[in-house]
């Protein structure tokens, strides 16, 4: 070793202690900078969510007015026979306002679900699915013009999750399963679930509709992706919202590329643990359960 080279300071020497203190000071500064960055990002997300709520309200207000006047035009006495194209024009206004309303709702849901507070509790999946299907049955009856969907489920276990988010998840998944059918056909949907030994519940929503185009089983969960853009209306955000919800609850979601004869969407949720309590009890069933009598016709 050269004579002018400095030997390393022993571990207990003053120079070594100075190096340790300097490194600790640098680490404290880095931690403080990270904390400031996290605080600023959190504040930005909250500001964005607040802005989303405000802008959605501002956009919906004139939309409600347009829809209201369109309804008045439907019942307006313009003589008989009505002017050529009158009813078609009014119907197009109604369809346009409905598409805009759905887009606003989906954009708002997509932008806020990631930062929304979680209210975890024990959820009776069977009761939740029944409730969602009952609402969709009422909507289908009001719309008319299409066969009522046939939706069944197996006995579903309780899970640990957020009720509002899980309701939105099933609204989107069941809504898609009912929508993507061939004209004139009855939508047939079945919901199953199984609890594993790893504390995870695996849930599947299977339909007999038009299915998912080959090679798009992962892309359908991307933002603004539409598998059938020319044949079915939509915003391209429904499954992206589903993915955010499931990931927020600590699960995974996907589409089964091997399934034929329709589509099968699967996702996982946390099972109810001993710490969560026994949860709601439901009658045991031995086979598929029609979730609403009027849907099984």
pTM of this structure: 0.66
pLDDT of the residue at 78: 77
The answer to whether 289 and 154 have CB atoms below 8 angstroms apart is yes
Q: What is the mean pLDDT of residues 260-283?
A: 74
- Cα–Cα dist 292/91, whole Å: 31
Banded model confidence at residue 295, pLDDT cuts 50, 70, 90 = very low
Q: What average pLDDT does the structure give for the chain?
A: 79
Q: What is the mean pLDDT of residues 54-74?
A: 78
State pLDDT tens for residues 135-180. 888 776 666 667 788 999 999 999 999 998 999 999 999 999 988 9
Q: Are residues 205 and 104 in the same domain?
A: no
Q: Are residues 125 and 195 in the same domain?
A: yes
pLDDT of the residue at 282: 40
In a domain? residue 43: yes
Q: Are residues 33 and 172 in the same domain?
A: no
pLDDT of the residue at 74: 82
State pLDDT tens for residues 102-117. 777 777 776 667 667 7
Q: Are residues 63 and 181 in the same domain?
A: no
Q: Are residues 139 and 94 in the same domain?
A: no
Q: Are residues 71 and 187 in the same domain?
A: no
CATH number where 278 lies? 3.30.565.10
pLDDT of the residue at 8: 52
Q: What is the mean pLDDT of residues 228-255?
A: 87
Q: Considering only residues 175 and 37, tell me which one the structure prediction assigns the higher pLDDT.
A: 175
Number of domains forming the structure of the chain: 2
Report, in angstroms and rounded to the nearest whole number, the Rg of the chain calculated over CA atoms.
27
In a domain? residue 33: yes
pLDDT of the residue at 144: 62
pLDDT of the residue at 290: 47
State pLDDT tens for residues 172-219. 999 999 889 988 888 999 999 999 888 999 999 999 999 999 989 999
Q: Are residues 245 and 105 in the same domain?
A: no
Q: Are residues 157 and 278 in the same domain?
A: yes
Q: Considering only residues 249 and 234, tell me which one the structure prediction assigns the higher pLDDT.
A: 249
> For residue 185, what are the domain limits?
120-296
Q: What is the mean pLDDT of residues 75-98?
A: 82
> Mapped to the 3 state alphabet, what secondary structure does the chain carry?
CCCCCCCCCCCCCHHHHHHHHHHHHHHHHHHHHHHHHHHHHHHHHHHHHHHHHHHHHHHHHHHHHHHHHHHHHHHCCCCCCCCCCHHHHHHHHHHHHHHHHHHHHHHHHHHHCCCCCCCEEEEEHHHHHHHHHHHHHHHHHHHCCCCCCEEEECCCCEEEEEHHHHHHHHHHHHHHHHHCCCCCCCCEEEEEEEECCCCEEEEEEEECCCCCCCCCCCHHHCCCCCCCCCCCCCCCCHHHHHHHHHHHCCCCEEECCCCCCCEEEEEEEEECCHHHCCCCCCCCCCCCEECCHHHHC
């Amino acid at each position: 070793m050269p004579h002018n080279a400095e030997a390393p300071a022993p571990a207990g020497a003053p120079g070594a202690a100075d190096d340790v203190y300097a490194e600790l000071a640098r680490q404290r500064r880095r931690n403080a900078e990270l904390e400031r960055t996290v605080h600023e990002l959190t504040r930005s997300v909250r500001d964005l969510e607040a802005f989303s709520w405000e802008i959605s309200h501002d956009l919906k207000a004139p939309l409600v007015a347009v829809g209201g006047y369109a309804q008045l035009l439907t019942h307006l006495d313009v003589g008989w026979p009505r002017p050529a194209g009158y009813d078609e024009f009014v119907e197009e206004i109604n369809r346009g306002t409905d598409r805009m309303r759905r887009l606003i709702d989906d954009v708002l849901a997509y932008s806020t679900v990631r930062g929304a507070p979680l209210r975890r509790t024990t959820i009776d999946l069977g009761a939740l699915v029944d409730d969602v299907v009952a609402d969709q049955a009422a909507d289908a009856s009001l719309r008319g013009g299409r066969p009522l969907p046939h939706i069944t489920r197996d006995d579903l276990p309780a899970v640990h999750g957020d009720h509002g988010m899980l309701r939105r998840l099933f609204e989107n998944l069941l809504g898609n399963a009912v929508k993507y059918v061939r004209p004139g056909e009855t939508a047939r949907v079945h919901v199953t679930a199984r609890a594993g030994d790893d504390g995870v519940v695996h849930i599947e929503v299977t339909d007999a509709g038009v299915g998912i185009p080959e090679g798009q089983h992962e892309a359908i969960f991307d933002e603004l992706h539409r598998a059938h853009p020319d044949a079915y209306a939509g915003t391209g955000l429904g499954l992206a919202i589903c993915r955010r919800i499931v990931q927020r609850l600590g699960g995974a979601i996907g589409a089964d590329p091997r399934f034929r004869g329709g589509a099968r969407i699967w996702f996982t949720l946390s099972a109810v643990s001993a710490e969560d309590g026994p949860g709601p009890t439901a009658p045991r069933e031995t086979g598929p359960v029609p979730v609403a009598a009027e849907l099984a016709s």
